[in-house]
Each structure stands twice: as structure tokens, then as C-alpha cells.
Amino acid sequence: MKIFLIEDDTALAKVVKDAIQKYGFEVEQAQDFAKLTEEIQRIQPDLVLMDINLPYFDGFYWTRQLRLLSNLPIIFLSARDHPMDQVMAMEYGGDDYLVKPFDNEVLVAKIKSQLRRAYGEYSVAGERIFSFHELQYFPERLEVHFGDQKEYLTKKEGELLELLIEHAPRIVKRETFLMKLWDDERFVDDNTLSVNMGRLRKKLEDMGLVDKIQTLRGQGYQLVWEVEK
């Protein structure tokens, strides 16, 4: 498996690279911090280790750019230990977060966990599928299919759709989404859920699935197939 390390501290990058390679991983380090997406496309890694404080643009920016191209696992490595930094990392498409300084064995364990999630048994056999009428969602790939249409979701969007399909056509309360996605409502502003739901709704509409996610004021959200007139 190939790991792409995005870390501008050369001393720390060497320590991390040496530690990972001991476990048999191939490690490529970022060279041009102004063209990271181009490097990733050229190297085709299986997982990215992403610092936040970087030259030119921060790790949040690059994660957003990468999510337009790929759903490969991204683990943030950062000295920032505020809970909101971790929330933002997940919101922008990260899969895990490790605060510096960290134990190398913990880092390797997280890498192995994300690789199993992305490329493990579900990606080959026994893959989970959530279906509602002709709509299909593949959580291990973060792909939603409708006929010959396909869209890629962020992790948060996928979790929203998973809940909607599991409960469809029943209403899913706002609190249920927050418990599933963030565990602690204190770290989520009032607009976070509606923004993510809006992005999911837009992606479904781009596939021709219009008005399938209904907002019920004061209650929650509902996935429907035939909209009542």
C-alpha cells in the first residue's frame, strides 16, 4: 500500500516516513506544496496523511480539492488540538485526526484501520448496499447510483443518506442525525446539518432525483419516492 505524506516539517516528515516504512508501507512525500492535487494524481496513493498548516494553502483547502477527485482515506496530522479543528477536518472530508506529538504505533494502527475500511473485505466481497426503490448507496465506496447515473459523496453526506434510507419513508429526527454524525451537539452550529443535507439534496437532484429529500419543519427529514401533490 502506498501512503502520500503531506508535511512541510522535514524533520518530522522523515520520522513519520521511517516509522511507516518499517511496517512495509511505501511512502511518498509531497514535494510541491502549490500543486498537491497534481502530485496525488500522478502518484495514485492508497491513503493521504495531511498536515493542516502548510505553505500556500492549508490542509482543509487541499482536502476539499482532493474530495472532488477521490474518496481515498485522509488522516489529518496536526498540532492543533481544539475540538473545532477536528470537527472542521471531518467536515471537509477527513476520515481521522491525530494530534501531534503522537505515538508512531497509534499512527500505524489508524492507517491500517482506514485501509481496511476502504479496501478491506467489503470492497471485494460482501459489500454493503443501501437501497430505496432504484436508488442505491455503497458506503464503502461513498457512491450513490441511480440508473446509469453515479455521484460521489463526502463521508458526512453518505452517513446522512444511509440514515434516510434505513428509515425511509419514515421521518428521521434532527437529533438522530446529530447523534449519528457528531455524537456531541455542542460542537455543531445550527446550520451544519442543513448545509450538509443541502449538498446531498443537490447531488441527488443532479442525478435526476428531485424532491426526494423532504424537510418537515420542526420534525426532521424524510426520504420519499413519490411526492404527494
Q: What is the 3-state secondary structure (H, E, C) of 6-51?
A: ECCCHHHHHHHHHHHHCCCCEEEECCCCCCHHHHHHHHCCCEEEEC
Taking the C-alpha atoms of residue 130 and residue 135, their distance in angstroms, rounded to an integer, is: 8
Taking the C-alpha atoms of residue 206 and residue 150, their distance in angstroms, rounded to an integer, is: 10
Per-residue confidence (pLDDT) for residue 185, from 0 to 100: 43
Per-residue confidence (pLDDT) for residue 222, from 0 to 100: 94
Peptide bond before 45: cis, by omega within 30 degrees of 0? no
C-beta separation of 49 from 77 below 8 A: yes
- Contacts of 229 by beta carbon, 8 Å cutoff, 6+ apart: none
Domains for the chain: give ranges and CATH numbers: 2-119 (3.40.50.2300), 130-223 (1.10.10.10)
Per-residue confidence (pLDDT) for residue 229, from 0 to 100: 43
From 132, 122, 129, select the one nearest 143 (Cα to Cα). 129
Per-residue confidence (pLDDT) for residue 121, from 0 to 100: 43
- Contacts of 93 by beta carbon, 8 Å cutoff, 6+ apart: 63, 64, 66, 67, 74, 154, 155
From 176, 181, 135, select the one nearest 157 (Cα to Cα). 181
Per-residue confidence (pLDDT) for residue 188, from 0 to 100: 52
From 65, 16, 10, 19, select the one nearest 39 (Cα to Cα). 65
According to DSSP, the β-strands at 26-29 and 2-6 are parallel
According to DSSP, the β-strands at 74-78 and 220-223 are unpaired
Per-residue confidence (pLDDT) for residue 30, from 0 to 100: 92
Per-residue confidence (pLDDT) for residue 123, from 0 to 100: 42
Per-residue confidence (pLDDT) for residue 209, from 0 to 100: 93
Q: pTM of the predicted model, to two decimals?
A: 0.55
C-beta separation of 29 from 13 below 8 A: yes
User: Residue 4 corresponds to which amino acid?
Assistant: F
Chunked into runs of 10 residues, the chain (229 residues) has average pLDDT values of: 90 89 86 91 90 91 88 90 88 90 87 80 55 87 87 87 90 84 52 86 93 90 76
Query: Can you say whether the dihedral through the CA atoms of 171, 176, 180, 186 is positive or negative?
Result: positive
Taking the C-alpha atoms of residue 202 and residue 200, their distance in angstroms, rounded to an integer, is: 5
